Structures are given as C-alpha cells and as structure tokens.
C-alpha cells in the first residue's frame, strides 16, 4: 500500500505549493511533481475529504473542483494549517548539500559567494537533517576543475545538437588527431568523463575521454541524423572488443591483475599465488604491444606466438637506442 504513502507525501508538498502561488495549473503541478495530470486530480479528490477533526461543516478543506475541471487550475482554501512543506529528510538534505558543495568547488570565484550563501541558508533550514552531509566528502581535483569549462561546452553542444571539432589524443597509437564529431551525450565510467559521439573520421560511434581532448570548438553545423545509433550500455565497461578481434592468452602476476579489471576478459582462471590466467580479445595489436611492454615481466604471453614476437621486436628495437 505504498500508493497511499506516496500520495500523502505529494499532497503535503502540493498543498503549500498551491497556497504559495494562489493558483496553479494542473499541468504545471503534474510537471513539478513528476506525475500525470490525472494523478493530480485524484490527489485533489482525496484532499477534499480531509480537514479538521470531526470533518463538520466548515472543517473540510475547500478545493475548487469546478476550476480544476473547467479551467484546469487548482485553488485551495480553508487549509491554513498546511502552509509549509515538510522538513527535509536527512537523505534529501545530504544529497542536496553534497551537490551544492560539488557545484561550489567547480564554480568560478565570482559565483562561489552565491553558492556559499545558498549553502548556509539551506543548512539552517535543514537543521539536524543537514548533519549527515558532513559524512560525505567529494574531493574535487585540479583535473575536475580544469575539465569543467570543456564539459559545459560539450554539454551545450549535445543539447543544441551541434557538431564539435576536437583534437584528440589516442594513447594506444600515440597520436593526436583533429576530427569532427556529432556529440551524443556526456557520461562517466570507471572514474573518467567521456563524450560519446559519432566520429566522422572513424565513421563510427566513439567514446572520447575528456582529459584527452586538447581543443574543442563547437561548430554552427547541426549534427547528422544517425538513425538508430543508440548510446552504448557501459555496464560492462568502456573496453568493448569486437567479436571479430583475435584472442590473446595472458598469464598475469599478482601486480598485473588490474589488467583484468580494466579490460574485462572473455574468460579467466585463478591460479595459485594470486596469479590469473585470462583470455582477452584485442583488435589493436599496437595497443596490446604497448600494454605488454609496460607490464614487462608481470605478464607472460601464452599465445598466439605472433604477439610474443611483436613484443620481442619492439623490445629489441627500443634496446638498440641504448647501444
């Protein structure tokens, strides 16, 4: 019977909401409370059976149902005792205060005093409920702040449906390329912010890590229509190999186990001593060789032999620089 609980919760905000504004269109109330207009009408039908104890003449809350049906406007009266909404619960206060602090940390210095004043007023109004916010800390790094303007510019491009020209660094190939993209959305995964977009250079859908975008210019050109291209489901991680990519079998020493966290394996097997055997699909051999060079003796390539040979070639070539 949570329906009644939710309905009462909504009415306890709706009644003061209307009284603070004299009258409110049903449509607006529905939008603000995230329900259908028909639900608001149902709520009002409950309300006019309520009132002061005894519910005698003059005790009932007065809801102008004619105005609701006719003009689609809500007016209530005879309900002075519900002029204020409920206090904030600790979960509500904490969530909002933490969000305000994050906003403060990422805002320019001239806006900070406004956020500080808002925070102070909100903390006073929330009272004890605000204390839970002290137990949540969002550490904003210099990187987060530095990316703020870029994120905002890209968010604007997403909502305006405009193309963006970006300079993007691809670590796997160690190159920086200029490309025009049709931005789709901003998304956070595995601790990094990404722009998901249709890339005109790759002619495919791509994720671009914001801290690897060195330049971004929003163009006047509207984005192309890509029909049924949908945002990727990132629940399985950012790294999503194609099913046509060849396998590589790796034996990870304990200190290289993070590889299996970042690049979800096709299959894996725990071995004694904390070692892990994993099978990975890797389409980009250059990327794989770079990874294996970094890991050195923390990883053994069990197959295919071409990969071992490629690592050997790369190591021998690099070693020649020191001869």
Residue placing its CB nearer to another protein in the complex, 36 or 226 = 36
**Size of residue set near another protein by CB under 8 A:** 120
Considering only residues 231 to 270 of the shown chain, the ones binding another protein according to CB under 8 A are 254-255, 257-258, 270
Residue 87 engages another protein in binding (rule: CB under 8 A): yes
Selection from 126, 46, 29 nearest residue 86 by Cα: 126
**CB-based contacts of 215, cutoff 8 Å, min separation 6:** 165, 166, 167, 178
Span 158-177, contacts to another protein by CB under 8 A: 169, 171, 174-176
- Interaction of residue 72 with another protein, rule CB under 8 A: no
Query: Which position among 22, 69, 77, 140 is part of the footprint of another protein (CB under 8 A)?
Result: 140
Nearer to another protein, 9 or 226 (CB): 9
Nearest to 180 by CA among 162, 156, 199: 199
Residue 141 binds another protein, judged by CB under 8 A = yes
Binding flags for another protein, 31-70, as an x/- string (CB under 8 A): -xxx-------x--xxx-xxxxxxx---------------
Question: How far is residue 19's CA from residue 82's CA, in Å, rounded to a whole number?
Answer: 9
Rounded to 5°, angle at Cα 242 from 238 and 246: 115
Nearer to another protein among residue 151 and residue 279 (C-beta): 151
Q: 68, 74, 88, 197: which one contacts another protein (CB under 8 A)? A: 88
Q: State the helix-helix crossing angle for 285-295 and 305-320, rounded to 10 degrees.
A: 70
Phi–psi pair at 278, nearest 5 degrees: -135, 150
- 237: helix, strand or coil: coil
Contacting another protein within 12-31 (CB under 8 A): 12-14, 16-17, 20-21
Binders of another protein among residues 180 to 209 (CB under 8 A) are 186, 188-193
CB atoms within 10 A of CB 322: 5
């Amino acid at each position: 019977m949570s329906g009644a609980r939710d309905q009462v919760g909504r009415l306890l905000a709706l009644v003061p909401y209307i009284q603070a504004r004299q009258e409110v269109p049903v449509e607006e109330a529905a939008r603000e409370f995230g329900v259908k207009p028909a639900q608001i009408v149902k709520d009002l039908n409950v309300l006019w059976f309520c009132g002061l104890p005894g519910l005698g003449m003059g005790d009932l809350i007065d809801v102008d149902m004619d105005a609701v049906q006719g003009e689609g406007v809500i007016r209530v009266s005879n309900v002075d005792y519900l002029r204020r909404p409920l206090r904030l619960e600790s979960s509500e206060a904490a969530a909002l205060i933490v969000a305000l602090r994050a906003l403060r940390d990422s805002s320019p210095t001239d806006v900070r005093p406004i956020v500080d004043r808002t925070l102070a007023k909100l903390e006073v109004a929330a009272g004890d409920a605000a204390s839970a916010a002290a137990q949540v800390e969002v550490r904003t790094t210099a990187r987060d702040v530095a990316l703020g303007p870029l994120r905002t510019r890209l968010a604007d491009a997403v909502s305006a449906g405009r193309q963006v020209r970006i300079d993007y660094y691809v670590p796997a190939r160690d190159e920086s390329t200029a490309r025009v993209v049709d931005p789709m959305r901003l998304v956070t995964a595995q601790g990094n912010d990404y722009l998901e977009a249709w890339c005109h250079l790759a002619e495919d859908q791509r994720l671009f890590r914001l801290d690897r975008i060195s330049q971004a210019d929003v163009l006047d050109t509207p984005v192309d229509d890509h029909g049924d291209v949908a945002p990727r489901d990132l629940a399985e991680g950012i790294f999503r190999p194609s099913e046509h990519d060849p396998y590589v079998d790796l034996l990870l020493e304990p200190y290289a186990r993070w590889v299996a966290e970042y690049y979800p394996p096709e299959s894996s097997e725990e071995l004694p001593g904390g070692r892990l055997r994993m099978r990975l699909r890797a389409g980009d051999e250059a990327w794989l060789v770079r990874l294996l060079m970094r890991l050195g003796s923390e990883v053994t390539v069990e197959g295919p032999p071409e990969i071992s040979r490629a690592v050997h070639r790369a190591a021998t070539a690099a070693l020649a620089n020191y001869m």
